[in-house]
Amino acid sequence: MALFQAGEEGVTSDLLPLIMVVASEGRIEEEIFLTSFLWEEAKHVEFFRRWLDEVVGAHQDLGHYLTPSYRQLFLAELPKSLNALKTDQSTAAQIRASVTYNMIIEGVLAETGYHGFRESLESQRAAARPAPGHPAVVARRKSSHSIRSVSPSNRPDQRNARRLAGHERPDE
Ligand SMILES: [Fe+2]
């Protein structure tokens, strides 16, 4: 989670130079895509910070979880390739920034992280819960549908936190 939090902060704070370049060149479709992307990344920062604060109570410095290779990619290569666009808007510089951001950071590292999340959640579900169709599951679903409309634990932030913690399936 510390790696995700740091990564979300990195991609949020470093994307702006690329947006400014595509905007200055009148590439409106790419500007729309990247500004939407930036908004999403900002929401991810907020979500993971809230999860660390409110679900696990991790208020301490988590920097010791960042490995040397992670630091090189997120704290050196990512800002360097994006910030280079402030003085060099050439096609080569844009490709370097986009490959670093979209192909390496998002396409390789974030996707690998998502895969790890999915594997972890699936193994927790398999170990802790009966299979779908089991009477206990069916009964719980039926009762939860009627309880949900009045339950304060149905707030979206609480439900997301419970899903991340593996206590609730997305379709419940
Ligand atoms: Fe993100």
Is 30 within the bounds of a domain? Answer: yes
Which residues constitute the domain of residue 21?
Answer: 2-164
Q: For residue 78, report the distance from its CA to the centre of ligand 1, in Å.
A: 14
User: Amino acid identity of 48?
Assistant: F
pTM beyond 0.75, yes or no: no
What's the pLDDT tens digit per position in 60-79? 888 899 999 999 999 999 99
Is 78 within the bounds of a domain? Answer: yes
Residue pair 85/97 in contact by the 8 Å Cβ criterion: yes
- Give the count of beta carbons closer than 10 Å to the beta carbon of residue 8: 21
Q: For residue 125, report the distance from its CA to the centre of ligand 1, in Å.
A: 24
CA distance 8 to 107: 14
Is 169 within the bounds of a domain? Answer: no
Which DSSP letter does residue 154 get?
G
Provide the number of structural domains found in the chain: 1
pLDDT at 50 over 70: yes
Q: For residue 41, report the distance from its CA to the centre of ligand 1, in Å.
A: 4
User: Which CATH number characterizes residue 141's domain?
Assistant: 1.10.620.20
Is 171 within the bounds of a domain? Answer: no
Q: For residue 122, report the distance from its CA to the centre of ligand 1, in Å.
A: 21
Q: For residue 40, report the distance from its CA to the centre of ligand 1, in Å.
A: 7
What's the pLDDT tens digit per position in 83-129? 999 999 999 999 999 999 999 999 999 899 889 888 888 888 777 76
Q: For residue 52, report the distance from its CA to the centre of ligand 1, in Å.
A: 15
CA distance 24 to 89: 10
Q: Give the model's pLDDT for residue 132.
A: 55
In the numeric block, the tokens 């920034």 are attached to 97
Q: For residue 27, report the distance from its CA to the centre of ligand 1, in Å.
A: 23
Q: For residue 133, report the distance from its CA to the centre of ligand 1, in Å.
A: 34
3-state secondary structure of 37: helix
What's the pLDDT tens digit per position in 124-145? 877 776 555 444 444 444 444 3
Is 146 within the bounds of a domain? Answer: yes
What are the strands, taking DSSP E only, across 15-157? Answer: none
